[in-house]
Amino acid sequence: MTSTVFITGATSGFGRAAAHRFAKAGWKLILCGRRQERLDTLQQELSSLTDVYTHVLDVRDSTAVNAVVEALPKDFLPITSLLNNAGLALAPQAAQNVDLSDWHTMIDTNITGLVNVTHALLPSLIETGAGASIINVGSIAGQWPYPGSHVYGASKAFVQQFSYNLRCDLLGTGVRVTDLAPGLAETEFTLVRTKGDQAASDALYEGANALSADDIAEQMFYLATLPPHVCINRLEIMPTTQAWSPFTVKRQS
């Protein structure tokens, strides 16, 4: 039986790279994102490799999520793997200088959207059973704080703990859950975070030899194709050029 992967945030970055990686392996694709034109492009690029089903979706809208899941074509069911990839960071300034609306957007996307899609697809994943997997895209920010991370880091800490607790509840179903936590990766992430500041994005990645979207997609595929009895609870991945720094101390003058 052909495997099927459901990918949120498929129109850019990790999600788009994952769509290409899974398509090359012959997996059926269910691709969701907010940009119709990019979904159409993916359909054109990948339909010669595998069956592709696309749908415009804002994961923050639980009614829309449930409607998409209920309308999935039967030949794409049951779902083998869910890649909860949709998410974003905004407002890298200090917390006291951030618009509250940016915090709400991160919470609504990174937390509410994640639980909306997971809840809707759990019955299908449990139907698949052994070998099924939920791969939640977290971040090293969920484990390691830094200035300007505020709600973004907190939302990714939620991803980690939700993954762990979901894993406990799914014990015995065969469904695996992984918190995949990338470090510095060169995608549209910083452009979104800085609301289009290309110079800021270029400066962050210059000379860093950061991870690529393809690097993360390869890890997603690895996690999804492990033997059914193997579950990696958390996979933290950084470029070799990135590591932790000492604590910062604000000294009195």
Instruction: Report the relative pairing of strands 4-7 and 28-33 from DSSP bridges.
Output: parallel
Alpha-carbon distance of 216 to 181, in angstroms, equals 9
State the pTM of this model: 0.95
The domains of the chain, with CATH numbers, are 4-237 (3.40.50.720)
Cβ proximity of 212 and 237 under 8 Å: no
* 137 vs 156: CA distance, rounded Å: 8
- pLDDT at residue 104, rounded to an integer: 98
pLDDT digits (tens, 9 = 90+) for 9-29: 999 999 999 999 999 999 999
Q: Just list the catalytic residues.
A: 152
Beta bridge partners of 236: 181
125-134, 178-187, 198-207, 221-230: which has the minimum mean pLDDT? 198-207
Q: Is the pLDDT of residue 46 over 90?
A: yes
Residue 122 reports pLDDT greater than 90: yes
Q: What value does the mean pLDDT take over residues 111-140?
A: 98
